[in-house]
Amino acid sequence: MSPLSGIIDTHTHPLLHPSQQVVDWEHTAEDYQARAKRAGIVRAAALVMAPEGDLDRTRTLNDATLALEAASRGFFYPVCSVHPRDGEAALEEIGRVARAGARLLKLHPNTQSFDVADPVVAVTVERAASAGLPVLFDAYSPWDADQPGKFVKLAMAVPKATLVLAHAHGPHFADLLVYEVLARYPWWDRRVYIDVSATGSLLSGSPFAEQFVWILRKVGLDRILFGSDYPLDDPESAVERVRDLGFGEDEARLIFHDNALRLLGET
């Protein structure tokens, strides 16, 4: 497989419900698939974001992404969501979507307005881990400088959980070096993955590109995932920009394909 074939996009927001509109045009699943075909993408995550205190809508959103997998003949895989402050109902919903075929759980501290250090987040992550679901977090906040450290504490508090840190901490990507240090300890299981959606495109061609690649290599390219963050970025453009960072063919194969299969438990 070449780096430009068989690409898996681990971060997309196809429009599955009016409440999930990200931009001012209808970013449908069909629109994404047309763009993805041109980019060589053969599979993609479909993310939803649960509101707080509205379990009916949460279930509706989750059912929509679960149904999309069959409707797209497996092109999309479902990434469901709950709100951590919805208590026992959220924990029950995690079990329901896991049994129904969810592949990951999505939590978004900014959009869902919660603090990563809130104890209810660890409870939610622990339940997801018990259900076999990795947890995909939006992992950049311009309002919480301590957030990178909070993710480290969360990973240590729930050591059996697999976490995916979307956007690679944005302009604070150097904070990812802590995972290279943690990997030196025998008790660290390297269950934290880094999704380069948005940040990879942002830094490609910039004075920071070389530093970004150096840090990703230090973390370990076997834990780096490609994501487009559609519709905030075009999939074809996102692929090209990440390629332009200068990864070798074997490195690109990990980022664009193999690591996602490992995360999904398919290797």
Span 32-41, pLDDT tens digits: 999 999 999 9
Q: Is residue 87 part of a domain?
A: yes
- pLDDT over 50 at 156, yes or no: yes
- pLDDT over 80 at 104, yes or no: yes
- pLDDT over 80 at 3, yes or no: no
Span 190-243, pLDDT tens digits: 999 999 999 999 999 999 999 999 999 999 999 999 999 999 999 999 999 999
At 5, is the pLDDT very low, low, confident or very high (cuts 50, 70, 90)? low
Q: Is residue 1 part of a domain?
A: no
Count structural domains, the chain.
1
- pLDDT over 90 at 52, yes or no: yes
Domain of 140: which CATH number? Answer: 3.20.20.140
**Residue 2, pLDDT score:** 41
Q: Is residue 132 part of a domain?
A: yes
Find the mean pLDDT for residues 51-77.
98
The H-assigned helical ranges of the chain are 29-39, 55-71, 87-100, 119-130, 147-157, 177-182, 199-203, 209-219, 235-243, 249-253, 259-263
The answer to whether the pTM exceeds 0.85 is: yes
- pLDDT over 70 at 4, yes or no: no
**Residue 84, pLDDT score:** 98
**Residue 16, pLDDT score:** 94
Find the mean pLDDT for residues 99-127.
98
Instruction: Determine contact, residues 166/138, Cβ cutoff 8 Å.
Output: yes
Find the mean pLDDT for residues 46-75.
98
Q: Is residue 2 part of a domain?
A: no
Span 225-235, pLDDT tens digits: 999 999 999 99
Domain that holds residue 144: 7-263
Q: Is residue 205 part of a domain?
A: yes
Nearest to 202 by CA among 178, 236, 174, 167: 167
Burial of 224 (0-12, 13-18, 19+ CB in 10 A): buried
Span 17-30, pLDDT tens digits: 999 999 999 999 99
Query: How does strand 192-195 pair with strand 104-107?
Result: unpaired
Which DSSP helix (H) or strand (E) runs through 9?
Answer: strand 7-9
